[in-house]
Amino acid sequence: MTEIQFRRVATNGIEINIAEAGEGPLVLLTHGFPESWYSWRHQLPVIAAAGFRAVAPDMRGYGRSDKPQDITTYNQVNVIQDIVGLIPALGYETAVIIGHDWGAPTAWGAAELHPDRITAVGALSVPYSPRADAPPLDTMKAIFKDVFFYQLYFQEPGVAEKQWDADIRTNLRKFFHLGSGAFDKTLAQSKGPDADLLSDIADPGSLGDWCTDEDLDYYTAEFTNSGFRGPLNYYRNHNLTWELTADAPGTIQQPAMFVAGAEDGVILMAADALNKLPARVPNLLINELIPEIGHWTQQEAPEAVNQYILEFLSKVS
């Protein structure tokens, strides 16, 4: 196993903590909510052993990376600049980028907005969607005006933070279980718009081999130290990101990969985007759903994801 090393790197006016392994062409791995570089623990050594320099940052607001106080600095244009800025900071001109969950739109956006820096792009769980016709938060409020939707619950600063902080370990276990392939979706019930996220979710007690007690210990320690304010701020910038990307091209031209769990709730919500993906990403080399896997793609199915990533890297290197 290739050793994973850590350091902080200056980029876009802040410092980002990175986990890195290997030598060779640069592969950036961007994580989502509520995770950290650690969600790529199964991929870093494998990508490194295949002859690449694999780098997984703690995204802005997470882990040991800087956590700016200004909510607006968590818009995706700024987050993308953090990650693209790592490329010259690490001594490279270009990189391949692969992202999961929130890291997926960061990866897609980096490819779309910085084609001179991103030679190929992969995403897990979240398919590419071009800029919407209307501000996203406005659309969410119209669609979910009578029912609970977690992204709207996350909007008021301090509210979701208070609930998450009340019992970080239990809440992470609940949320991870809710998104996993093991969750029984027949148990899910709609609730009113004034409900909270987690109080009515049953604690599964354990998550199985994909997230062991030791893994949960790591995540719990990270969020105990960092808090949830930065991570939640990503959701609070949907409309600002929309305003800042009016001139976005609307297609991805680089070689691309998409992999998701067939039981991922995000795939159900993004069915239209998944169907239109080949048209919007014309150089889509890999487009696969992994059976029985939920949202935490690279953790629930590390061997399958590693196989797809190595196949993709072999095609674009």
| Structural domains of the chain ordered from first start | 5-316 (3.40.50.1820)
Report field, pTM of the whole predicted structure over 0.95? yes
Pairing of strands 14-21, 53-57: antiparallel
- Tell me the pLDDT tens digit for each residue of 206-226: 999 999 999 999 999 999 999
- Please report the pLDDT score of residue 4 as a whole number: 97
- Tell me the pLDDT tens digit for each residue of 121-150: 999 999 999 999 999 999 999 999 999 999
Model confidence band, residue 190 (pLDDT cutoffs 50, 70, 90): confident
* 101 part of the active site: yes
String of DSSP letters for 176-206: HHHHSTTS-GGG-----TT--SSTTSPP-S-
Model confidence band, residue 2 (pLDDT cutoffs 50, 70, 90): low
State the average pLDDT for the chain. 96
Q: Which of 58, 82, 101, 264 is catalytic?
A: 101
Query: Minimal CA–CA distance to 101: which of 267, 233, 262?
Result: 267
Under a CB-based contact definition with an 8 Å cutoff, are residues 206 and 174 in contact? no
- Please report the pLDDT score of residue 249 as a whole number: 95
pLDDT at 1 over 60: no
* 295 part of the active site: yes
232: left (phi over 0), alpha (psi -120 to 50) or beta: alpha
- Tell me the pLDDT tens digit for each residue of 12-59: 999 999 999 999 999 999 999 999 999 999 999 999 999 999 999 999
